[in-house]
């Protein structure tokens, strides 16, 4: 294999890997990174966005996010059941949103339906150096 073919193969592998959704905690949940950009007028801060797809009955394990993360979640389709910190559990429908402040515990995040899929957009304002956005809660 010549150098040009090797480089082409490597580039194709990177493109395919970056286009594939990231595996999540539950096989009925898929997290797909969709956007990442440094904020030019706020040094050290970035905006990152992910789309979370829940199959019917899908859920995330209880988790926390990066300590610097302010999160805005917007329901794109279906119904999302969510509980953050000591707040009551709520069901959010398309067009509704919620937020999480830095250091919050996301105790419940799941599709409220056992028969229909659900999808949400999560936008993170986070320290640029934070690489892991989500950590399972112990």
Give the start-to-end residue ranges of the domains of the chain.
23-136
Distance of alpha carbon 121 from alpha carbon 32, whole angstroms = 10
pLDDT digits (tens, 9 = 90+) for 8-20: 333 333 333 333 3
pLDDT digits (tens, 9 = 90+) for 84-102: 999 999 999 999 999 999 9
CATH 2.60.120.10 given to domain 23-136: yes
Comparison of pLDDT for 136 and 56, the residue scoring more: 56
| Confidence label for 26 from pLDDT (cuts 50, 70 and 90) | low
pLDDT, position 129? 93
For residue 16, give the H/E element and its range: helix 3-19
Taking Cα atoms as reference points, which of 116, 68, 69, 67 lies closest to residue 91? 116
């Amino acid at each position: 294999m010549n150098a040009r073919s090797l480089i082409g193969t490597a580039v194709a592998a990177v493109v395919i890997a970056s286009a594939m959704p990231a595996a999540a905690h539950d096989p009925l949940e898929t997290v797909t990174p969709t956007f990442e950009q440094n904020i030019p007028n706020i040094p050290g801060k970035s905006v990152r966005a992910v789309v979370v797809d829940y199959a019917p009955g899908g859920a995330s394990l209880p988790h926390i996010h990066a300590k610097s993360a302010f999160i805005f979640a917007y329901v794109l389709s279906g119904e999302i059941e969510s509980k953050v910190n000591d707040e009551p559990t709520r069901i959010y429908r398309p067009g509704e949103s919620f937020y999480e402040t830095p250091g919050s515990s996301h105790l419940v995040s799941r599709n409220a339906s056992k028969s229909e899929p659900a999808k949400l957009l999560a936008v993170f304002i986070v320290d640029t150096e934070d690489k892991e956005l989500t950590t399972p809660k112990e």
